[in-house]
Amino acid sequence: MPSPGLLTTWQYAVEVLATAAFALSGILEGARKRLDVVGVGVVASLAAFGGGTLRDLLLDRRPLFWVEHVEFLWIVLALAVLSVLFLRGRHFGLTERAMLWPDAVGLGLFCAAGTQVSLDMEMPLLVAAVLGVITAVFGGILRDMVCNEIPRVLRDHRPYAICAFLGAWVLIGLQVGLGMDERSSLLIAAGFASATRLLAVRFDWALPAWRL
């Protein structure tokens, strides 16, 4: 494993898992749109790298995480190529429903990673929470926008971005408020955000919307 550089080992592990989870969600979206192998690679890359790249741009943080860790690029490209070559329609009854899982897991992990990086750079707390949400949702926004759909974060009336927002405040509360160590607070915050999202889908929670 390469040296984590700016990232601690725990942050690194969290980013790898989140990247793989969102790459998978992009591959599934590309499959539904019947894209070719390059299109699937592009959508998977946007989903996997979009959020973290925007976070790094906004924070003026260089090298970007996928420049520092080139293996992320290799993994996502390999996943996309292998999926197109080996996945078939009969897998889809399964994966269509299972798409909720990578998306929710990626949401929690990226939200924790993005908030942590912002705290490390001494951002104000609300900014850290917002950057956690941006890291978590922007990849999915790009994925849906290039496929010409209204992003899920906007049209799904079940809680999505707000799970990331709450997860970010859990991390801030545990780490800044209670002084918990990084490893535990990252895992708890990521788990909280992912679990909230999965529960919201399972029990079909609805957010308040316009009553017109």
* Interacting residues toward a copy of itself by CB under 8 A: 31, 33-43, 53, 57-58, 60, 62, 64, 66-67, 70, 73-74, 84-85, 87-89, 92, 123-124, 126-127, 130, 137, 141, 145-151, 153-155, 157, 159-162, 206-212
Rank residues 10 and 54 by Cβ distance to a copy of itself and give the closer one.
54
Cα–Cα distance, 102 to 152 (Å, whole number): 14
Report, in Å, the least distance between residue 14 CB and a copy of itself: 22
Q: How far is the CB of 198 from a copy of itself (least distance, A)?
A: 17
**C-beta atoms surrounding 139 within 10 Å:** 31
- Which one, 98 or 162, has the nearer CB to a copy of itself? 162
Query: CA–CA separation, 164 vs 25, rounded Å?
Result: 17
For residue 64, the SS3 value is: coil
**Residue 87 or 180 with smaller CB distance to a copy of itself:** 87
**Cβ-based nearer residue to a copy of itself, 62 or 202:** 62
3-state secondary structure of 204: coil
CB neighbour list of residue 186: distance below 8 Å, 6 or more residues apart: 10, 11, 14, 112, 113, 116, 171
